[in-house]
A and B are shown apart, each in its own frame.
Chain A
Amino acid sequence: MTTTTRDWLLSETPASRMQARLGRSYRVFRALLRNPLAVVGALIVIALVVLALFAPLFATHSPYAGELTDRLKPPSDAFWLGTDELGRDIWSRIVYGARITLAIVVLVAAIAAPIGMVVGAVSGYLGGWADRILMGITDIFLSMPKLILALAFVAALGPGIENAVIAIAITSWPAYARIARAETLTIRNAEFISAVRLQGASAMRVIVRHILPLCTSSVIVRVTLDMAGIILTAAGLGFLGLGAQPPLPEWGAMISRGRSFILDQWWVATMPGFAIVIVSLGFCFLGDGLRDVLDPKSGNRQ
């Protein structure tokens, strides 16, 4: 049964659109499995998603309520990763914090990547004044340090997760616009683009149906590699008190609270720090693996 499914997926002569599409995804998936680091990265990311989705099942205590008598307990059987200064279980808070981290990462990617791709593709395809104006705006955003710009936006919009997401998205789309524009410039004069133009396709149709699909793989790779940076920026905002507000169990904010006890109760700041490092590494590994599989410039396409 499994072999027949595999043969069906790898068939050189797919009989339907669906089969052709599934077959392509399956080939990418198999290529990814051959890269051990990518598998590790994917497992970490999957673990993060599972933890976030089923947080109540994995948490041993409430992430918000704690007994003051249990404050600053070291890791033990009852409190796997210890407790913080209000007696809350750090493991449970990290588990619930995965939801916040995942939400930030997904929302930023969902806002920034499409904006960047559309701006880049339109700018590269139309050229001329449109290109100069759009790329000028992109350059302005690109020239400012990410965290500082995010800080300025959060300061203006007020602290909170939603504003942190908006601020991070505003600072991260220019990189995707640059990539999409570069890709567009290499393909805009290709004969297959001339061919669809000859058929009478509008500029909008050429960009959406023929150019953007060719930009997606490099943007996906870049977004995955940027996830670590997004998580760190979100944690940085949280640490500075401008991201998630107490009592939300955001990892950066947790480190910030633990800073006061770092010498005597090291686990309070260290445990969420580990969480950030592991998840960032996971996204980096996965991004590297995806680049090897998807990036058209890496040569070994299948």
Chain B
Amino acid sequence: MTSAISLRGVSVSYGETPVVEDLSLEIAEGECFGLVGESGSGKSTLLRAITGLAPDWTGGISLFGQARGKSIDRRFSALCQMVFQDPYGSLHPRQTVDAALSEPLTIHGIAGADTKVPAMMAACGLDPRFRFRLPHQLSGGQRQRVAIARALMLSPRILLLDEPTSALDVSVQAEILNLLKRLRREQKLTYILVTHDLPVVSFLCDRLAVMRQGRVVEVADVAALRANTMTHPYSREMVARSERRV
């Protein structure tokens, strides 16, 4: 079986500075894969390279066996979408929810926005009354639901999540995580979840990779995280730090 996401020897750099170095990963279809690491470890950059937003990479990235080019193209847009960290910055301030959700359909020439938008809003737990509201009339959690709905409008098979809950209140975080869990089950999605929050990984993910300074130091099952049986000293240190905070 081909993997949903296959990264072979991927290096990403911003100008002269290498951010991700020689990284290889295979992620199976339907899996939720966590990428953890501290700030600057290159995990968000890796996501941006997979989507095409950071075009300065070398190596091989393929989704469902199809190698992708450096720039964004529509075939891959429909296959793989991303949810951003900051729900306050990821929605256009002058566009209503309706406009944000119809835009991907218009770009891809898909008809039927009038039925698809309310359906997706319902699937993401958004009240139909919010349809013509502007982002500033929504709460952070509602905005993140809109961002998730927007990412799912093209029915992608892969969803990349860049710290989707770190900008939200704890109670809202739980709602969004439950929503993500349900959507993954219902739509058979493959997730890559970038976070520095280990409890989120153990709640949502099947496997995880620990990244440090642009390299993967360890790939482990989430059971190893829960049982604290990860092998690399840096991973153990991270788990220990996370437990101290709780």
Binding site for B on A (CB under 8 A): 12-17, 19-20, 24, 190-192, 194-201, 205, 209-210, 213-214, 301
Contact = CB atoms under 8 A, between A and B. Distances in A.
Which of A12, A200, A301 lies at the interface centre, i.e. has the most chain B CB atoms within 10 A of its CB? A200
B172 to A, nearest CB: 18
A199 B90 contact: no
Interface in B114-134: 129-130, 132-134
A210 B92 contact: yes
Contact of A192 (B52, B91, B133): B91
A110 B136 CA distance: 31
A199 B78 CA distance: 7
Interface of A is mostly: helix
A117 to B, nearest CB: 15
A199 B77 contact: yes
B36 to A, nearest CB: 21
A197 B72 contact: yes
Nearest to A193: B92
B96 A20 contact: yes
A21 to B, nearest CB: 9
A122 to B, nearest CB: 18
A200 B96 contact: no
Contact of B53 (A14, A194, A214): A194
Contacts of B151: 195
Contacts of B199: none
27 contacts: A12-B137, A13-B129, A13-B130, A14-B132, A16-B132, A17-B96, A17-B98, A19-B132, A20-B132, A191-B84, A191-B86, A194-B53, A194-B90, A195-B84, A195-B151, A198-B53, A198-B77, A198-B81, A199-B77, A199-B107, A200-B78, A200-B104, A200-B108, A201-B107, A205-B107, A214-B92, A214-B94
Given A17-B98, A191-B90, A192-B91, A198 B130 contact: no
Interface residues of B, number: 38
6 closest A-B pairs by CB:
A200-B77, A200-B74, A191-B90, A13-B129, A20-B132, A14-B132
Given A195-B82, A214-B94, 10 more contacts: A13-B133, A14-B133, A15-B132, A24-B134, A191-B90, A196-B103, A198-B53, A199-B103, A205-B107, A209-B103
Interface of B: 51-53, 72-74, 77-78, 81-82, 84-86, 89-96, 98-99, 103-104, 107-108, 129-130, 132-134, 136-137, 147, 150-151, 154
B92 A17 contact: no
Contacts of B52: 198
Contacts of A17: 96, 98-99, 132
Contact of B107 (A14, A20, A192, A200): A200
Contacts of B133: 12-14, 20
A210 B99 CA distance: 11
Contacts of A213: 94
Nearest to B75: A200
A20 B103 CA distance: 17
B90 A200 contact: no
B104 A199 contact: yes
A192 to B, nearest CB: 4
